Amino acid sequence: MSPDHPPGLDLDRLRALLERERPGLVDGPLTGRLIEGGRSNLTYAVSDGAAKWVVRRPPLGHVLATAHDMRREHRVISALYPTSVPVPRPVLLCEDEDVLGAPFYV
């Protein structure tokens, strides 16, 4: 797989989801790369050439749902975002495993 299409990140499916759920957010072809150094959940840097986002998903293969709960992680970030705690702006939570093979959030 090329660096712009790392394992676990289907950029075409991600773009289709973002266009459907957040029309106008993406303005150009998506590229992505795995951010190295994580110990558990996979973290990708995604860009359309103008804007940048982070996508988080569980590791590839069999995982314990409670150990890699994207819903919980997204819920915590969403609750903290309007406070003074420095967290990224949550864009969306996708629980449809058909998109990337597991729940994930942007």
- Taking only the tens place, the pLDDT of each residue in 80-104 is 999 999 999 999 999 999 999 999 9
- Taking only the tens place, the pLDDT of each residue in 20-38 is 999 999 999 999 999 987 6
Return the H-helix or E-strand segment holding 94: strand 93-94
Residue 48 to residue 30: CA distance in whole angstroms:
5
Domains and CATH numbers, the chain: 11-105 (3.30.200.20)
Q: Check residue 69 and give its pLDDT.
A: 84
Statement: the pTM of the whole predicted model exceeds 0.95? no
CA torsion 23-30-39-41 (nearest 10°) is 30
- Taking only the tens place, the pLDDT of each residue in 38-58 is 677 899 999 999 999 999 998
Residue 30 to residue 10: CA distance in whole angstroms:
10
